[in-house]
Amino acid sequence: MQLDFEKMGGLVPAIIQDHATGKVLMLAYMNQIAWEKTLETGKAWFYSRSRDKQWMKGEESGNVQVVKEVFVDCDDDTVLLKVEQVGKAACHKGYTSCFFRKLNGEVTTVEEKVFDPDKVYKK
């Protein structure tokens, strides 16, 4: 499978979904290296635009994503990973999902934090 990394300057969006519940956990970006590492290791790897580096989900927090299924869209420029979320959360802010806020006229937090990011991440 060859993804089209050139459409977005070397990156493709990766939608991450819990394989058991169907809940969308996060969206991140992959470059060719992250894609290959994901396929080789069976764990979700991404490219951080802000840090300009490869990273494996959970490398600091322990909240690793084990890839169960991989889907590619019809244009070969977006991937959907169905994962087993090992640990409590996908979100680096301490929530199960990065989509923990809902707009109902105003933005409301609809999930409880499952860990304290200040205790997990060394910054």
**97 lies in some domain:** no
CATH code of the domain in which 60 resides: 3.10.20.810
For the stretch 2-32, pLDDT in tens is: 899 999 899 999 999 999 999 999 999 999 9
Residues 76 and 7: their CA atoms lie apart, in Å, by 10
- Cβ-contact 102, 110 below 8 angstroms: yes
**79 lies in some domain:** yes
**56 lies in some domain:** yes
**53 lies in some domain:** yes
**101 lies in some domain:** no
Query: 61 is in which domain, residue-wise?
Result: 12-88
Residues 63 and 88: their CA atoms lie apart, in Å, by 6
The domain total for the chain is 1
The CA distances from residue 79 to 9, 15, 118, 119, in Å, are 16, 6, 31, 32
For the stretch 66-118, pLDDT in tens is: 999 999 999 999 999 999 999 889 999 999 999 999 999 999 999 999 999 98
Q: In the structure, how many helices (H) and strands (E) does the chain have?
A: 2, 8
